[in-house]
Amino acid sequence: MWDNFVDFIKEYDLSRVMELIRSIDWHAVITNPIFIGLALGFLGFTIYKKRLKLLVITLSLIAFVFLVQMVTPQGGEYVPKEKIFMFIGGGIGLAVLNLYLFFFHD
């Protein structure tokens, strides 16, 4: 089992994961009927069961993927400091929002 984990880490290093995130075609994902059905089912389930924290964490993960996709440059290019600050600010904003909703908001 450990060897499988090590092979996975070797194959999917950080640059490969970033390239995979950058290559997502969001228009194709959003217009896919299977995705629409699953998203509506998940949304209905979370609202019906009043599991809004699950909905918030899911939307935060999606927002983080968008943030990573927007900030990361194409392979090996220089990252401008404005994008670094945008990533740090967006990450802190998402973290603060989630911490507030999970621990302080009743």
Query: Domain limits of the chain?
Result: 2-104
The pLDDT value given to residue 66: 86
Please check whether residue 69 is in contact with residue 22, taking contact to mean a CB–CB distance below 8 angstroms. Answer: yes
Q: Which residues contact 97 (CB under 8 A, 6 or more apart)?
A: 56, 60
Q: Which of 58, 66, 56 is nearest to 91 (CA)?
A: 66
The pLDDT value given to residue 77: 75
Average pLDDT for consecutive 10-residue bins of the chain (106 residues)?
71 71 83 93 90 88 87 76 90 92 80
pTM of the model: 0.70
